Chains A and B, each alone.
Chain A
Amino acid sequence: MTHRILVVDDSEENRLMVRYCLAADGYEVDELDSGQELLDLGEKIVNFDLILLDVMMPNLDGFETCRRLKNQKFASNIPVIFLTAETEEDSRVSGFEAGGIDYILKPFGRKELGMRVKSHLALSRKLNEVNSQNETLQANLKRGAEIQTAFLPSKSFQHPDFNIAWNYQPVEHIAGDMFGFINFDDGSLGVYLLDVCGHGTSAALVASAVCGAITTNRKLMGYEVQGKYFPRDPSEFFELLSEHFPYEKYESYFTFSYVVINSANSSITAGVAGHPPPYQINAFDVHKINVVGPILGIDLGSKWQSQTSIFNENDKIVIVSDGILELTNEHGRFEKYMNFLLSKYASCSAADLVKSLHAQINEFVDNGEIKDDLTIICIENK
């Protein structure tokens, strides 16, 4: 994986020196010549894996630049190494206070620069992993379900174009199922259901970590063009997600069901990763959307699909977690009844559909044991 390094120094000579030193190690090097320009990059800074920042610069020095940079949440994880000729202890301390993580004294040798950069890139990767693991561990130990509720949509979530209803029933206090809604600037609504394999504490931790990543790293689910946020195609989203969460990270596999709906275009684009696809109810029939895709966490080499179809007024999308489809009683699996039940409730409101379906599930199980998280989401195009 190639890394992108940004060097900020007002002297062209120094920038060339850094470039020369790092080029041989295969890094992609970009340059800026002032602190202000670094700050002007805004969120584009996340494109870089490490920043080499000169301290002695006119107008805005390295320390002040770093202080201001680190005040922004999106820049909090990027390692900043100062380049300076200063040797006084005081300045070195200011550097760390300003948010830098190391110092390289000028003049530096090629080897030294290369080694420091390499070390900090490795540390930064490790740190990010440990940070998110720590966060979820702590949070779960202390607050369990509270964290999950924080990621879930508020009960009053609304969208001008759609009627939305859901029923969320984890089998334990905390769940491996989570879901969410994302608003995009083109009027689209993204709806996702995440189902971590297994349930209970460890599944819930992974689910929270993934949800956390989705909500804080907006680049996963969408992209920005000129300040506006647009949805990615589900297959792209899954590719990015699988890069961020390989099995080794949390020793977990997880599955996803994701749709992007847009009322103005009357369109729905759906994608799944190892999960049964959503059901679409339109004026004529009820059917499962025809998409498949591998589970997330394993690199099977096969790519994810996405399917775009028409989503008219009064049509509905129903996303159910696989826990529901796999419920079994003496008559067989609950999945058999889905088409029939959804046809029956096709003309109900989204809220009534969810309520009725939930009632049917309870009847089906009939005091038996529910072993998995159950989630039902219904969205109706107004």
Chain B
Amino acid sequence: MVELSCHLPANFKSINTLRELLKYIGEETDTKLEKYSGIELALIEIFTNIVKHSGVVADDLIDVRLRSDSRELEIKFIDTGEKFLPTILETVMPHMTTKKIELLPESGFGVPLVVSLSDSVRYERKDEKNFTTLIFVLDED
């Protein structure tokens, strides 16, 4: 079991750092995480969601904690932003095929994507902080 944790400033520059962390933990646990392209996307979507919508202020840092063995990868995001609506996790992917082109939505895919890409998404509000946890089940190869 390998554990990493890092405080990342709440801005888009941290995205590359997030990628590096993921790569690193993959190396440490000897799992080819690149196979799972959805993991990178899910992490980045959660992170940018926090940056854009939680109201975290400039001085704030987002606490990112990764835990992995070869069977499962868990990533926890702890931020000091506003309370997320729990129902946000229940949002469904916006319907695409039945709509006319003019009516296609241009946003709102972020959270439904994360839910589709992860094996489990949990959200908890504790001590004035948001805890968002993603779990990915990895194939035993």
Contact = CB atoms under 8 A, between A and B. Distances in A.
Verify whether A and B have any Cβ pair under 8 Å.
Answer: yes
B59 A290 contact: yes
A310 B55 contact: yes
A346 to B, nearest CB: 15
A266 to B, nearest CB: 8
A258 to B, nearest CB: 14
B58 A309 contact: yes
Nearest to A282: B57
A170 B58 CA distance: 30
Contacts of A235: 12
Interface in A280-335: 280, 282, 287-291, 303, 305-310
A287 B11 CA distance: 17
A270 B12 CA distance: 13
A303 B57 contact: no
B52 interface: yes
Contacts of B11: 290-291, 305-307
A370 to B, nearest CB: 30
B58 A306 contact: no
Contacts of A307: 10-11, 58
B59 A306 contact: no
Contact of B13 (A280, A287, A303, A308): A303
A306 B57 contact: no
B57 A305 contact: no
A128 B136 CA distance: 56
Contacts of B12: 235, 305-306
Interface string A75-117: 0000000000000000000000000000000000000000000
Contacts of A308: 51-52
B26 interface: no
B45 to A, nearest CB: 16
B58 A287 contact: yes
Interface in A194-215: none
A306 B51 CA distance: 11
A310 B57 contact: yes
A290 B9 contact: yes
B8 interface: no
Contacts of B55: 309-310
B49 to A, nearest CB: 12
A291, A303, A309, A310: residue with the most chain B Cβ atoms closer than 10 Å: A309
Nearest to A287: B59
Contacts of A303: 13
Contacts of A291: 11, 58
B57 A309 contact: yes
Interface in A221-280: 235, 270, 277, 280
Interface string B70-94: 0000000000001000000000000
Given A308-B51, A308-B52, A289 B13 contact: no
A310 B13 CA distance: 19
Contacts of B41: none
B56 interface: yes
Contact of A287 (B9, B10, B56, B57): B57
B15 to A, nearest CB: 12
17 contacts: A235-B12, A280-B58, A287-B59, A289-B58, A290-B9, A290-B11, A290-B57, A291-B11, A303-B13, A305-B13, A306-B11, A307-B58, A308-B52, A309-B55, A309-B56, A309-B57, A310-B55
